[in-house]
Structures are given as C-alpha cells and as structure tokens.
Structure 1
C-alpha cells in the first residue's frame, strides 16, 4: 500500500506536468486511515472484481490490488498515463481505463465493442468511442473509490438506477454533508436520501478531515458504505411510479405533504381520499415529506396505486 506526503504529490505533479484540477476533483489522499477503513468496509476477497473511479497516483488502487483479484480503475487525466504504464507492471491485476466512467460504463453494459458505432452519450471526452475493458456483462463487482465530488449524484444514479447489472456494494469517499444527507433519518429526509435508501442500505464508516488531502479541499469528507438490496420484478416495475410520488411530495418542503400531493389526485377533489389514506396509515395531517421514512413512502405509494392505478409512469428515479 502506498503512502504519499504532500512533497511526494508535488513532485509527481511536477514530473507529469499536472496541476491539480478542481474540475476533475483532484485532491490526493495523504493518510492511510481512510484507505484502511475503505478496504475493510468493502470486505474484499481474492475473487472480487473492483471498480474504482479516479485512481490518481494509486494510494487506494494499490491497496485494492493487494486484496482483490482484479481492479478496473477509470481515470480521465491522461497526463499520468505514463505513470500508470509503469505502475501496472508492478500491479498486473490493475487495468486503467482512460475516459469518463459515467459514459463508458453505460456503453459497456449495452454490449458494444470498441469498433462499433456508439450512441452520442457513450462517447469519451476526446470524441472517440471508448474501448472495452476487462469485465464481462453481468459479472459481479464492487465499487470502491475516492470519487470526484462534483459527480457524486450522477455516479450514484449510474450504479443504483441506470444500469441493470448493479454492484454488490459501494464504498465511497464523499463530501461529509452529502454522506449525512444520504444516511438521514425521518425528519431530515430528502429525495437523495429516499433514492439511496430505497435501493440500498447506507452507513457512514468514518469521517475524514480535509487536512488528510493535498491540495486541502474546502470541505470535510466521509466514507460511506452502500449495500444494495435485492429487488423482485414487481418492485422494479413500480420504481418510476414510486419516485414520481416522492418528487411531487418534496416539491415544496415547507408545505404539508397533503397539499403537495393534491396535483397527483386531481386537485381539491382528491383531498378526501388523501385524508382517508392518512387516517388508515396513521399519519398526522400536518406531516411533511421529510418526516417519512422509505417504508412510509412505500406504504403510501401502495395505497395511492390502489386508488389511482392509471397514473403515468414517466419520471426518472434520482
């Protein structure tokens, strides 16, 4: 496992002509403590395939390679390509995939080969179709990464919603405030918390202060573990309808939930029906969206589906 000092990072950046970029979220880990916590939380076996996003100079990557059978690491900063050409000789079970993971993973799951025409949203940042990489469609894997914080929401959406072959679990370094939002309890819920907790069980593993990174970011961080739930076919079919309800419920956080949901039930004419459902579920008439748990929302969705079975299913999930 590699441990970097600020001076070592500075020297590597200078050697490869790299100036740490906020656009790419390039803040390099200097402490072994969060790396060890991530490796332990991921419960890695020698047979595991690990997907990493943003390996940088490999502080986490090398630890993953020591424990896993295979590491597929997506990196967008091609200035360090020569660095990884040498480093992968030392770690032959590491494959660096150069490009945008948000585009390339969707391309991969569609089963397109490198020389096939790809849809416009599956083109890498240089305008070229991304090459294939060392995984098979449907292969079990885990995601373990110190991710660029600006892609936190789309990355979680990618692995929880957009692709069919979801990971067994994810262990991610994210902004502390985002980790707390994801793991929120009733009273502080949000669409993000509902979305993650609907698909998975999240937990905060360790808080990571900002001085554990170089350059020092403006925010503190946290490691979260997201363990995915198994869904049956019926649950998958109802997912879009469920999140249409949730997004409508959160459309105005200051309003009570009944008022936010009136547009879904025909306006004022549906108020009586909502009040009947509220009484059946034991909800206070003044309850707000952020006060309901995922289980509460599921029960509410089931009641509304029985009363209004023909509502359109036209919303994205996260």
Structure 2
C-alpha cells in the first residue's frame, strides 16, 4: 500500500480473487454499482489457471478482455481447434476467443521456472454471441462427452448422461454428427447442435425425448 500511495487511480485489494466476485472487486475499487466495464491483466498462479479463468468468464459481470500469462502447454490447450479440443478449451471458448500472443521462455523469469510460458489474450463474447443460450445444458452434454475420452461419442454420452446408446446415436445424427466420432473432434457449433438435439421434444407434446436440463 505504501508503494502505491502516490498512484491515485490504483486501489490495492488484499484478498483471494477466488473468494470475491468481480462486482465486489469493482465496488472495493470505488465503483458503487459493481458493473463498470473492466479488463483483467494478470500473471496467474499456474496451479489456479483454470479456476481463475472460469471465475471471471462465468461471472455475472465478466471482463471485456483478459490478458494472462499461463504455462505454454496450457496456452496451446486454450486456443486448440478440432481435433485437439479438450473440456478446458470448450469451456474457455464458449465465453471468449483465446489467442496466443507470444511465447515467453523460462529464462525470462527469476527464479527460473521449469516450464515455458505464454501470454494469452481472451476477448470475451457478449452473452448473445455465445454458441448456446443455455450454458447449463450445454456443459452437461460437453462434460458427458469428455468424461470417457477414449470412447466413441455415442458411448461416452450414453454413459455420461444416463441414456441408451441408441437414443444418443439418433440425436447425434439429427445434429449432423457421426456417432463414432470422439469428443475432441467436435467444434463448439457442433456441441451446440448436439445439445439442442438431446433437448428436443417429440411430436406428441411436451415430454422431452432426452432430458438434458
């Protein structure tokens, strides 16, 4: 606090970032509404990368932009494309568009870590630009698909969602996805179609064919 005393626009907040919502941080920084647009620029503790990214991206008041330093291998996973997707990649890309800005060698730090790092920029999507309007249903399906990564999608989803493989196969074909594919090969748009197909209603009325909610 003494070092920053002369910086009139800097308000140090000594707290665990996981235990404060972004709105609470903004209020502590002088914004009474807790909703002022903001950006996150951070050298994240590497063991907290995933929970901290989700903490901000899933917040009621998310940032407009995140620029973070993470492990090089994690940076590659964040920005992955099919067929190299992971649950982490889908989770981050659902809320934003990650881009690896540059690689940072281990020798750039002191003390020198054992791994290389990278600067990653994530441009956060507005809610209407997300791949699916229902994050809960979307991530239940995605989590089911990645729960058994060595299995074909029809079997992984059947086990993850408690459905028959025949029901899942029909829904996958409705979504334009071959049942024999694996989770890491799907794009976000395909996951959105699969979620809709698994949530559709039958022709007789209101009963759901497959319950995802």
String of CA shifts for 1:145-175, please: whole Å, max 9, x gaps. 11221211111011011x2111001010111
Query: 1:278: how far off?
Result: 3.1
What is the match of residue 5 of structure 2? 88
- Structure 2 residue 208 is the aligned partner of structure 1 residue 311: no
Rounded to whole Å, the distance in 1 between the matches of 2:130 and 2:29 is: 33
User: Does the 8 Å CA contact 2:98/2:122 hold for their aligned counterparts?
Assistant: yes
- Structure 2 residue 14 is the aligned partner of structure 1 residue 98: yes
What is the match of residue 178 of structure 2? 284
Moved more, 92-101 or 272-281: 272-281
- Structure 2 residue 155 is the aligned partner of structure 1 residue 155: no
What aligned pairs does 1:88-127 form with structure 2 within 5 A after superposition? 88-89=5-6, 91-105=7-21, 108=24
Q: Which residue among 127, 134, 138 is the counterpart of 1:242?
A: 138
Gaps of 5+ in 2: 202-207
Q: Describe the shift of the 1:141–1:309 C-alpha distance in structure 2 as closer, same or farther (beyond 3 A).
A: farther
Q: Which residue among 133, 137, 140 is the counterpart of 2:29?
A: 133
Q: Which residue among 247, 251, 255 is the counterpart of 2:151?
A: 255
Q: Is the partner of 1:244 in helix, strand or coil?
A: helix
Query: 1:186: how far off?
Result: 0.6
Q: Which residue among 125, 143, 148 is the counterpart of 2:40?
A: 143
Q: Is the partner of 1:214 in helix, strand or coil?
A: coil
What is the match of residue 204 of structure 2? none
User: Does the 8 Å CA contact 2:43/2:69 hold for their aligned counterparts?
Assistant: yes
- Structure 2 residue 79 is the aligned partner of structure 1 residue 183: yes
Please say which structure displays the higher CA radius of gyration.
1
TM-score norm. by structure 1 comes to 0.59
Gaps of 5+ in 1: 1-83, 112-131, 314-318
What aligned pairs does 1:63-78 form with structure 2 within 5 A after superposition? none
Q: Is the partner of 1:94 in helix, strand or coil?
A: coil
Q: Is the partner of 1:203 in helix, strand or coil?
A: strand
Q: Is the partner of 1:272 in helix, strand or coil?
A: helix
Rounded to whole Å, the distance in 1 between the matches of 2:35 and 2:168 is: 42
Q: Is the partner of 1:86 in helix, strand or coil?
A: coil
Rounded to whole Å, the distance in 2 between the matches of 1:264 and 1:252 is: 8
What is the match of residue 5 of structure 1? none
